Chain A
Amino acid sequence: MAIEATAGGRSAFDQLVEEARPKRTLAQNLKRFARRKPAGAISAVVLILLALIALFAPVIATHDPIRDQVAAERLEAPSASHFMGTDNLGRDVFSRVVYGARISLQVGFLAISLGTVTGLVIGVLSGYLGGKLDLVVQRVVDVLMGFPFIILAMLLVVALGASLLNVGIALSVAIVPRVVRLSRSSTLSVKEEVYVLAAVTIGVSLLRMVLRHILPNTLGPVFVLATGALGGVIVAEAGLAFLGLGIPPPSPSWGGMLNIGARGYMEAAPWMVIFPGVALSAVVFTFALLGDALRDVLDPRLRRGDS
Chain B
Amino acid sequence: MQKYIARRVLLFIPTLILASILIFGILRILPGDVALAILGQEAAEGGGGYTETQIRELRAELGLDDPLPIQYVKWAWSMVNGDFGGESIRSTEPLSSIIARRLPVTLQLTVYTVLLSIIVAVPLGVFSALYQDKWPDYVLRMGAILGQSMPNFWIALLLLLFMVTQIGWSPPLGYSNIWVDPFHHLQIMIWPALILAWRFSAYMTRITRSGMLEVLAQDYVRTAKAKGLGQQLVVRRHSLPNVLIPVITLGGLEVSTLLGGTVILENLFGIPGLGQEIVQASVGRDFPVVQSLAMMLVFFMLGLNLVVDIAYSYVDPRVRYS
Contact = CB atoms under 8 A, between A and B. Distances in A.
Contacts of A147: 19, 22, 298, 301
B294 interface: yes
Dominant secondary structure of chain B at its interface with chain A: helix
A148 B301 contact: yes
Interface stretch (B119-127, B217-225, B263-271, B309-317): B263-271
A206 interface: no
Interface residues of B, number: 47
Interface SS of chain A: helix, strand, loop or mixed?
helix
A277 B27 CA distance: 32
B226 interface: no
Contacts of B28: 159
A83 interface: no
Interface string A241-268: 0111100000000000010011000110
B143 interface: no
B257 A243 contact: no
Nearest to B20: A143
A288 B260 contact: no
Contacts of A273: 157-158, 161
Nearest to A140: B18
Interface in B96-153: 145-146, 148-151, 153
B29 interface: yes
A266 B290 contact: no
A258 B150 contact: no
Interface string A160-183: 110000000000000000000000
Nearest to A243: B279
Interface in A256-302: 258, 261-262, 266-267, 270, 273-274, 277, 280-281, 284-285, 288
Given A238-B151, A244-B279, A277-B157, A148 B259 contact: yes
A262 B157 contact: yes
Given A148-B257, A277-B157, A281-B154, A243 B22 contact: no
Contacts of B157: 258, 261-262, 266, 273, 277
Interface in B289-322: 290, 294, 297-298, 301-302, 305
B210 interface: no
Given A148-B257, A154-B279, A245-B283, A231 B15 contact: no
Interface of B: 14-15, 18-19, 22-23, 26-31, 145-146, 148-151, 153-154, 157-158, 160-161, 164-165, 256-257, 259-260, 263-264, 267-268, 278-279, 282-283, 285, 287, 290, 294, 297-298, 301-302, 305
21 contacts: A140-B22, A143-B15, A146-B302, A146-B305, A147-B298, A151-B294, A154-B263, A155-B26, A155-B294, A158-B282, A160-B29, A161-B30, A238-B151, A239-B153, A243-B283, A258-B157, A261-B157, A266-B161, A266-B164, A273-B158, A281-B151
